[in-house]
Amino acid sequence: MRPRSDTIAGWLFCSPWLIGGTVFLLLPMGMSFYYALTDYPLLKPPVFVGLDNFVELFHDDRFWLTVKNTAVYAAVFIPLSVVFSLGLAAMLCAKGLRFSRLFLAAIFVPTLVPMVASGMLWYWLFNGKFGLVNTILTTIGITGPNWLEDARTAIPALIVTSLWGVGQSVVIYVAALQEVPEQLYEAAEIDGMSSLRKFWSVSMPMVSPAILFNVITLLIGTLQVFAIPYILFRNERGQRNEGYFYTMYLYDNAFVYQKMGYASAMAWIQLLVVLMLTGVMLWASKKLVHYRA
d(CA 243, CA 227): 12
**What is the model's pLDDT at position 240?**
62
SS (H, E, C) 63-114: HHHHHHHHHHHHHHHHHHHHHHHHHHHHHHCCCCCCCHHHHHHHHHHHHHCC
Report yes or no: 165 and 218 within 8 Å, Cβ to Cβ: no
d(CA 176, CA 207): 6
pLDDT higher at 136 or 234: 136
| Confidence band for 242, pLDDT divided at 50, 70 and 90 | confident
pLDDT tens digits, residue range 125-136? 998 888 999 999
d(CA 21, CA 44): 28
> What values do phi and psi take at 97, rounded to 5?
-75, 120
pLDDT tens digits, residue range 2-25? 557 778 888 889 999 999 999 999
Annotated domain spans of the chain: 53-288
* CA atoms within 13 Å, Cβ hemisphere of 37: 7
d(CA 293, CA 125): 48
Report yes or no: 147 and 126 within 8 Å, Cβ to Cβ: yes
CA 244 to chain CA centroid, Å, is 16
d(CA 42, CA 258): 6
Report which listed range, 99-108, 225-234, 262-271, is most confident. 262-271
| Confidence band for 213, pLDDT divided at 50, 70 and 90 | very high
Report which listed range, 121-130, 147-156, 187-196, 262-271, is most confident. 262-271
Q: Which of 130-144, 227-241, 275-289 has the lowest mean pLDDT?
A: 227-241
Q: Assign domain 53-288 to its CATH architecture.
A: Orthogonal Bundle (1.10)
**What is the model's pLDDT at position 221?**
94
Angstrom CA distances, 202 to 34, 176, 282, stand at: 50, 12, 22
Residue 53's nearest CA partner among 79, 33, 23 is 33
- What residue type is assigned to position 129 of the chain? K
Q: Can you give the pTM of this predicted structure?
A: 0.89
d(CA 241, CA 239): 6
Pairing, β 47-48 against β 238-239: unpaired
